[in-house]
């Protein structure tokens, strides 16, 4: 089939969080869901499952387990046993469950900011302590890890490192050497690693995702890896994710922490995930080409028409991290663009340390919507600031 990512789908007739939050007339370019239809294979599979008419309790289809294991082997040369998979209703649920399973009150959870806001809150769900190290913003706008600061932030109460890779919002896809050094420090200090890798399939040319657990067996034995088809195939509302936990004792404790509160996956989530992994790769290949073109267009537009705003091309995800600190905006950048441009972006301050003065822009949308949003922002800057 021909994938028409330029086609604009009217989402205002649905109770879309993205499109309803800011009201009529505001172009939403904030929350990380895309404005594209899911792969046709996914929609056909859902139609067939609905036509069956019986929606009783179901477990994960064996074919889905096989598809995930084959995918991990094909993409990362990572051999995973079937029993290592734990299905979950979401990645956010997954890392909060890890906090509940392995942190005691007062224990420390190490995170790297600026970062996806639910990660900021994960320690608090277990009455633990958030231990923050800021990523280093380089002169070209890219971010790096200060490994001395990483180790210095660890203390005798630190029990877990919550990694976000590919990183939301800064767009880094961490290199093998960076991952290896983070893992080595975690092993040296006896930390568990919980790795949010939900954007692992959304990687641009010249970069490669590497699951941190795939680096070595001793790292895998101390790691909970969280993945999902949700961002990749734009099926987040169907709530299907999975953890990869090779170590049997870690897996036992992780499952026990569900305590009858964390439920299983919706059966339509299983259906969509299976169709996506079995038949969705051509759609994903086309999507990545489209997103990369959108990324390049957005970066070029900002640099040409909004020169006081800095942006580095993200290596993965469909999220651009815009530095508005030198733009001379009157007040908060998020509020400025919402009021003056009628464009809803994420406020960088909500991403923790290092996020103040930034906004996050979602370019996972038809090019016409992206152009309109950027043009509204340009006009607002010209009208108010310059």
Angle ∠(209,211,215) on CA atoms, nearest 5: 115
Residues 177-211 have pLDDT tens digits of 999 999 999 999 999 999 999 999 999 999 999 99
Q: Is the predicted pLDDT of residue 105 greater than 90, yes or no?
A: yes
pLDDT tens per residue across span 119-171: 999 999 999 999 999 999 999 999 999 999 999 999 999 999 999 999 999 99
Which percentage of the chain shows pLDDT scores above 90?
96
The pLDDT assigned to 384 comes to: 81
Q: Is 32 exposed, middle or buried (0-12, 13-18, 19+ CB in 10 A)?
A: buried
Burial of 54 (0-12, 13-18, 19+ CB in 10 A): exposed
| Residue 259 CA to its chain's centroid (Å) | 26
Neighbours of 21 (CB within 10 A): 12
Q: Output the CA angle 30-98-347, nearest 5 degrees.
A: 20
Q: How confident is the model at residue 3 (pLDDT cuts 50, 70, 90)?
A: confident
How much is the average pLDDT of 40-53? 98
Q: Quickly state the pLDDT bin for 334 (edges 50, 70, 90).
A: very high
Q: What is the mean pLDDT of the chain?
A: 97
The CA distance from 376 to 363, in Å, is 14
The hierarchical CATH code for the domain 44-279 is: 3.40.640.10
Cα(144)–Cα(323) distance, integer angstroms:
16
Average pLDDT, stretch 237-256? Answer: 98
pTM recorded for the entire structure: 0.97
Degrees to nearest 5, angle at CA 64 with 197 and 196? 10
Q: Check residue 386 and give its pLDDT.
A: 54
- Assign residue 251 a region: left if phi > 0, alpha if psi is -120 to 50, beta otherwise? alpha
Indicate where the chain has its CATH 3.90.1150.10 domain(s). Answer: 17-38+281-384
Q: What is the mean pLDDT of residues 207-232?
A: 98
pLDDT band at 283; cut points 50, 70, 90: very high
CATH code for the part of the protein at 17-38+281-384? 3.90.1150.10
pLDDT at res. 385? 62
pLDDT grade for 382, boundaries at 50, 70 and 90 = very high
pLDDT tops 80 at residue 2: no
- Band of residue 291 on the pLDDT scale cut at 50, 70, 90: very high
């Amino acid at each position: 089939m021909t994938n028409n990512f330029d086609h604009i789908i009217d989402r205002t007739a649905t109770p879309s969080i993205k499109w309803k939050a800011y009201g009529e007339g505001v172009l939403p370019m904030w929350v990380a869901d895309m404005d594209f239809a899911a792969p046709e294979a996914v929609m056909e599979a859902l139609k067939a499952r609905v036509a069956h008419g019986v929606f009783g309790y179901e477990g994960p289809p064996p074919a889905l387990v096989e598809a995930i294991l084959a995918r991990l082997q094909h993409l990362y040369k990572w051999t995973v046993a079937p029993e290592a998979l734990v299905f979950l209703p979401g990645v956010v649920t997954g890392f909060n469950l890890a906090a509940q399973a392995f942190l005691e009150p007062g224990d420390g959870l190490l995170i790297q900011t600026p970062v996806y806001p639910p990660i900021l809150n994960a320690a608090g769900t277990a009455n633990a302590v958030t231990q923050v190290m800021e990523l280093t913003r380089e002169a070209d706008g890219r971010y790096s890890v200060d490994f001395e600061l990483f180790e210095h932030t660890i203390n005798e109460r630190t029990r877990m490192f919550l990694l976000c890779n590919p990183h939301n919002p800064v767009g880094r896809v961490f290199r093998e050497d960076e991952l290896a050094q983070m893992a080595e420090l975690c092993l040296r200090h006896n930390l568990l690693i919980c790795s949010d890798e939900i954007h692992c399939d959304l990687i641009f040319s010249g970069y490669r995702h590497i699951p941190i657990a795939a680096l070595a067996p001793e790292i895998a034995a101390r790691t909970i890896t969280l993945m999902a088809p949700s961002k990749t195939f734009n099926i987040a509302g169907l709530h299907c994710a999975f953890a990869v936990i090779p170590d049997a004792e870690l897996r036992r404790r992780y499952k026990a922490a569900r305590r009858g509160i964390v439920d299983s996956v919706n059966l339509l989530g299983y259906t969509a995930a299976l169709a996506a992994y079995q038949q969705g790769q051509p759609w994903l290949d086309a999507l990545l080409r489209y997103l990369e073109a959108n990324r390049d267009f957005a970066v070029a537009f900002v640099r040409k028409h909004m020169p006081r705003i800095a942006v580095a091309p993200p290596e993965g995800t469909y999220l651009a991290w815009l530095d508005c600190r030198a733009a001379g905006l009157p007040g908060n950048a998020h509020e400025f663009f919402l009021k003056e441009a009628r464009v809803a972006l994420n406020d960088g301050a909500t991403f923790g340390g290092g996020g103040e003065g930034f906004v996050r822009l979602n370019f996972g949308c038809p090019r016409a919507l992206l152009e309109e949003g950027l043009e509204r922002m340009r006009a607002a800057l010209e009208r108010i600031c310059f």
